[in-house]
Homo-oligomer: A and B are copies of this chain.
Amino acid sequence: MEKRATIKDVAEAAGVGVATVSRVLSGGSASAATRERVLAVAAQLDYRPSALGRNLRQRRTGGMGLLVPDLTDTFYGQLSEGVLACARSAGEPVVIGSTGGDPEQEADLIGMLLEQSVDRLIAVPSGDADTWSPVLRAGMTVVFADRLPLQSSPEDVRAAAVADLMALDGLSAAAPARPLDVPAVVADDRAGIRTAVRYLRGLGHKRIAFLGGPGQDSRVNAFREAVGAPVDEELVVFGTGSRDSAYAAASGLFQSRPDLSAVVAGGNVLGEAAVLAARELDLRVPRDVSLVMYDDVPWAELCSPPLTVIAQPGRDMGYRAAELVLRAGGRRPRSVVLPTELIIRGSCGPHR
């Protein structure tokens, strides 16, 4: 295990200065002869520039961070694959962290990324706007994916505004109307949910329930909007993110409201819970209850009957987010809203 060649080795072997080697390797100006010689020597020595030196010099790590709630959730697996595909084609490293949907773990992981000087981050956020403002102020370029941080409470927003004012050194900036102004790549939850609710309505369903998870505000809101006032709040229930709590929520819902005839699950883990709970309670899908699940995952087709889903492009979402965070050349990239698609399979039937 001989140690790696350094830029100095290459410089000496090529009879030039280290600066010249650096220039040649990063596409700077150099005479054709020099360039050729340096390249040859570098190849011959199997020289690989060390990211360590470069990073320290530039005071930043290349690549990007990626924070997701849970890699056993297939949707986040898809999203991550998208991010990794983009990063790979750019030759950039990705430092990943799984937050478990817990703001504290998320904060810890952010701290770790800061320590590593990773200054670009793609995150499916779990903490609220307050936990994220400091990150932005620390100079991180972040792109949210799948969802946005919860809005902070009014007093928190006020506090943040004051902090912002105090932070204004010489830099003039437009006063932020909202505390968080970060690009994001998300699915068109509003349209997706609306389409699903309309579809169920069209089948004659009146009592439609929503089974949500943490961070699914936009889907819940979309649901409330789609069913229209008055919303039967008992039909809107939440799990905390774990499979167990999702199951408990689903089971509780079915038992407390046997009059419901359809449910919209806000994500694939919730859909899974709904199928399980329904079976446990001897409710047949779709005879006794119709089911639409957010997320198209491979196993949706394996269910009996196959699940009707609101598909969102997880992989694209990740890929686009990675593109945004890489391209962010100082300028704030625009947010992206990706379309959803209602894929009708067999889990919804007419209301009876």
Task: Give A residues with C-beta under 8 Å from B.
Answer: 1-2, 48-53, 55-56, 59, 61, 63, 66, 70-74, 77-78, 80-81, 84-85, 88, 91, 93-98, 105, 108-109, 111-117, 137-139, 167, 169, 243, 269, 272, 275-276, 297-299, 301-304
Contact flag A1-B117 (CB < 8 Å), given A80-B71, A95-B95, A303-B302: no
Pick the contact of A77: B52, B59, B72, B116 (CB < 8 A): B72
Q: Which of A49, A88, A299 has the most CB of B within 10 A?
A: A299
Contact flag A117-B52 (CB < 8 Å), given A71-B77, A112-B93: yes
Tell whether, in the assembled complex, residue A1 and residue B48 are in contact, meaning their CB atoms are under 8 Å apart.
no
By a CB distance below 8 angstroms, the chain B residues around A115 are: 48-51
What residue in chain B is nearest A50 (Cβ atoms)? B117
Pick the contact of A109: B71, B88, B109, B301 (CB < 8 A): B88
Tell whether, in the assembled complex, residue A88 and residue B70 are in contact, meaning their CB atoms are under 8 Å apart.
no
Whole-angstrom distance from the CB of A318 to the nearest CB of chain B? 10
- The CA of A74 and the CA of B117, in the complex, are separated in Å by 31
Tell whether, in the assembled complex, residue A272 and residue B243 are in contact, meaning their CB atoms are under 8 Å apart.
no
Q: Which of A71, A77, A117 has the most CB of B within 10 A?
A: A71
Tell whether, in the assembled complex, residue A243 and residue B276 are in contact, meaning their CB atoms are under 8 Å apart.
no
Pick the contact of A53: B56, B77, B298, B301 (CB < 8 A): B56
Pick the contact of A96: B78, B85, B96, B298 (CB < 8 A): B96
Whole-angstrom distance from the CB of A229 to the nearest CB of chain B? 35
By a CB distance below 8 angstroms, the chain B residues around A169 are: 2
| 10 other A-B residue contacts (CB within 8 Å) besides A1-B137, A276-B301, A303-B303 | A1-B139, A2-B169, A50-B115, A50-B117, A71-B81, A74-B74, A84-B97, A88-B98, A272-B298, A297-B299
